[in-house]
Structure 1
Amino acid sequence: MNARAVPALLAASLAMGGWAQVRAADVPGVHVQEPRAFGYSIGDVVLRVVTVDIPAGLDLDEASLPDSALRGRAIELRRLAHESSWRPGGRRHELKLEYQVLVSPPDVRTLELPPITLHLVPSSTGRNAPREQDLRVDAWPVTVSPLTPPEARTREGLGEFRPDRLPPLLDTTAARKRLLAYAAVAAVLLGYLGFVYLWLPWWAPYHRPFGVVWRSLRQGNTASAEQRREAFRRLHGALNQTAGRVVFESDIAAFVAEHPQFAGLREELAGFFRRSREQFFAAAVPAGDSADHDWLLRFCRACRDAERGTS
């Protein structure tokens, strides 16, 4: 080979290499760093990195970038980070796409990261301006596993049903104290009502003056003079207790006026004082018989009925 031809050949080789580099720089290129295709479950984040080399004269149409506002899919694009930098012969765009798994299938399921179509538009006008182009990034499969197996183990707490959780206990101390207080007040009121409307109506008739004397006379005897005098003393005491003072024979009219329930016993009261005078002040005490005892009982019972208001 001629020595003069060597430099010519070297110059031609350099020119061909430079022309090939220029032609390669004029062609858009896409490089995708795909995530692993397995081992995901609900909530996991999947990162996909797309690097696009665009020659001079073309620009990336940002309207063709994936939209992160779309919702309702099994795997959704949550975030898109777009970085642009200069490189020899054009620009480099790096897209970081974060997807999130939003489904928990009952069995292992294969989902797809959706395909991406990037639109390139010319950045200059003229006879030699490049034409519009589309760059496509194919879909990428990922498998999603369920959180739990389809059938839980037959162990306590892992079956299909679990026992109901008991409701939390409330502190009822204040309510119990109030209830006890209400019960105490109610018991006092009921006791008062029972005393007034039950006990007193039953107890009072048996403990009024003539009622007490009538029971003692009914169970006793007035055969002797001392027994008859004792009976008269008790009747005088009942009459005085009812009037609130000592009652004499001359006070019968005033006593009846103050106690109208005894109005029908005016004659019996006068007979009582007459018989009492004979018992205590007569020169000779009359001998007693069953008729006197029966009269005292009838008189005392009539006075008892009068003080009850039943005569």
Structure 2
Amino acid sequence: MSVRPRLIVGLFGVIATLSISSAVVAQPRPAIGLSIDEPRAYGHVVGDHIQRTLRLQLPDGFQLERASLPSVGAQSYWLELAVVDIRAAASSAGPVVVRLDYQLFYAPLQATRRELPALDLAAANAAGERITRRVPAFAFTMSPILELDPDAGFGDPDNDLLLADAMPVRPAVAGPRRATFVGLAITLFALLIWVWAAGYLSASARGPFARARVSLRRQRRAHEPPEVAKALRTVHRAFDETAGQAVFADDLDAFIAAHPVFADLVDDIGAFFDFSRRYFFAGAAPADGDNHALIDRLERLVQGCRKRELKA
């Protein structure tokens, strides 16, 4: 082989050796690993939220530049970025998850193609080395809320796809109203009968024994134990008001003669006056020492007198 061919072969050998050496020595350039969870690409309407989830695998020593992410707010007249959520991995080898939540503000009249914008993400290390990764745009279709007939105008009777609002149906209330009125009338009538039977409608219902009965009940609730002296005076006052003068035990026959309606209670009335005289003038106490039992007997006496009072 001549000198010149040998020189050419040698030169090629040197070039091949240098190429292999550089390939072995050269280190791969660090890059950002990217995987994307995309939403569905169809059927979105105005007001919907669309989320893109970016999982970034950053090389060792690199950190995501947050300034490379889009800012929250309006991205265009039909698109707004509502949330940018960044969740760093617990370890340096884990992925960085970025959630982008978009909201749609556009109501197309027919299905329309739209795109979420592309992004250029960047990461840098402490040495100032900077790498980037492009996130492609996401295309999807938006659908109209109402299907329109292009040959019919809005409100046109021929446009049967846009129906008028249905008028609300008034509930039938005549029956329940009538039943309510009848029930109230029956209740009022029954109440009036009870009031009449109890004697509250008559003038005598406001008589002395009616007031004495109310007073005894109030005393029972207000005092524990009830005051015997006050209860006895209350009953005495009822007899005095009925007679128009003070009534004592010696006046009982005259009282019955003037008010014969109480004649059948003469024994009970006499027992009352006898006990009252002994209580106030001889210091006698109730036989069983129970004030409640005495008040019960007084209430029964007053109730009996009240019934006769109603008949007077």
Would you call these one fold, judging by a TM-score over 0.5?
A: no
TM-score normalised by structure 2 residue count: 0.39
User: Which protein shows a greater Rg?
Assistant: 1
